[in-house]
Amino acid sequence: MSTDATPHDAAPILLELSPAEFRARLPEMLPIYVAAMKYPRGTEYHRAPMWSEHAGRAGWRAVAAALPQDPSTLVAIAYGYRGAPQQWWNQQVRSGMRHAGYSAERIDDALGDYFELTELHVHPDAQGHRIGEALLLRLLDGRPERTVLLSTPEVPDEDNRAWRLYRRLGFRDVVRRFVFTGDARPFAVLGRELPLTVASEPRR
Ligand SMILES: CC(C)(COP(=O)(O)OP(=O)(O)OC[C@H]1O[C@@H](n2cnc3c(N)ncnc32)[C@H](O)[C@@H]1OP(=O)(O)O)[C@@H](O)C(=O)NCCC(=O)NCCS
């Protein structure tokens, strides 16, 4: 994969994947996730069945990206699906909101009609060129849900690319420093209304 900065600044090729294409390309996509999140090698084997199961959920959509100079090599992946009360993530966020003091009415409202942004990852060699932004905009384009919700690890001063991207695109706090069952790290749950449109800014 090229690490030259210039070619990345060309618009990425975005591909919407069917569930069958997504499952077939898991061996390409999971290493992007592991590298992007700096998880230990081998994490991809645990994740494969879960990602595959997610591809069967209602309202699921996935978008991958490649670079124009190498269209057959994926460098980024994003997917999500329509949130629903029987889902683990929904139940976790519900309990986080309850502990944060939200009223039952506010919780029902927040979790009543949302798209869960489940994964968004750009390979480290390709980060910093707005590929993540392009993927997110495509993934959310034309969604029927009222809002989009996501969770991301807390980092000091919100100082990483994920936080900068989400804040730039108008995501606001829903729950902060939330610890999901089975993961000791604190996460933030962020959300915003749909549609998501951005005025295209000039290149810096
Ligand atoms: C988070 C992530 C998906 C963002 O994707 P990305 O393509 O790297 O980032 P973006 O689309 O936000 O592009 C960001 C870069 O575009 C550039 N950029 C932003 N606004 C710009 C503008 N108006 N004009 C020109 N360039 C701009 C900047 O260089 C910016 O980098 P910076 O945030 O370090 O300053 C990716 O970095 C990643 O996979 N990170 C690791 C995994 C992760 O954290 N995933 C999310 C977990 S919830």
Does 204 sit in the ligand 1 pocket, CB within 6 Å?
yes
Instruction: Concatenate the DSSP letters of all residues of 76-110 into one string.
Output: EEEEEEE--TTSHHHHHHHHHHHHTT--HHHHHHH
Assigned domain for 12 exists:
yes
pLDDT of residue 8: 53
The count of structural domains within the chain is 1
- Does the pLDDT at position 3 exceed 90? no
Catalytic residues: 166
41, amino acid identity: R
The terminus-to-terminus CA distance of the chain in angstroms comes to 24
- Classify burial at 131, counting beta carbons within 10 Å of its beta carbon; exposed 0-12, middle 13-18, buried 19 or more: buried
Q: Which atom of ligand 1 is found nearest the CA of 121?
A: 39
**Phi and psi of 175, rounded to 5°?**
-140, 135
**Is residue 120 classed as helix, strand or coil in its secondary structure?**
strand
Domain with 79 in it: what CATH number?
3.40.630.30
pLDDT of residue 45: 93
- Banded model confidence at residue 131, pLDDT cuts 50, 70, 90: very high
- Does the pLDDT at position 161 exceed 50? yes
d(CA 166, ligand 1 centre) in Å: 9
pLDDT of residue 198: 79
Does 41 sit in the ligand 1 pocket, CB within 6 Å?
no
Hey, what are 66's tokens? Answer: 């490649």
pLDDT digits (tens, 9 = 90+) for 8-21: 578 999 999 999 99
pLDDT digits (tens, 9 = 90+) for 66-110: 999 999 999 999 999 999 999 999 999 999 999 999 999 999 999
Give yes or no for a contact between 153 and 177, defined as CB atoms under 8 angstroms apart: no
**Is residue 17 classed as helix, strand or coil in its secondary structure?**
strand
Does 133 sit in the ligand 1 pocket, CB within 6 Å?
yes
Question: Left if phi > 0, otherwise alpha if psi is -120 to 50, otherwise beta: which for 189?
Answer: beta
Q: Which strand (E) or helix (H) includes residue 172?
A: strand 172-179
Please provide the average confidence, as pLDDT, over all residues in the chain: 94
- Does the pLDDT at position 4 exceed 50? no
| Residues whose CB is less than 8 angstroms from the CB of residue 199 and which lie 6 or more positions away in sequence, other chains included | none
**Most ligand 1 atoms within 8 A of CB, residue of 130, 135, 151, 171 to mutate:** 130
Q: Which atom of ligand 1 is found nearest the CA of 164?
A: 33
Assigned domain for 125 exists:
yes
What ranges in the chain are assigned the alpha helix state H? 5-8, 19-24, 26-37, 43-54, 88-99, 104-110, 131-140, 161-168
Assigned domain for 171 exists:
yes
Assigned domain for 62 exists:
yes
- Banded model confidence at residue 6, pLDDT cuts 50, 70, 90: very low
d(CA 204, ligand 1 centre) in Å: 13
pLDDT digits (tens, 9 = 90+) for 169-201: 999 999 999 999 999 999 999 999 999 987 666
Q: Residues 133-161: what's their mean pLDDT?
A: 98
Residue with tokens 């061996």: 27
Query: How many distinct helices (H) and strands (E) make up the chain?
Result: 8, 7
Assigned domain for 2 exists:
no
Assigned domain for 178 exists:
yes
Does 164 sit in the ligand 1 pocket, CB within 6 Å?
yes
Its domain, for residue 113, covers 8-193
- Does the pLDDT at position 26 exceed 50? yes
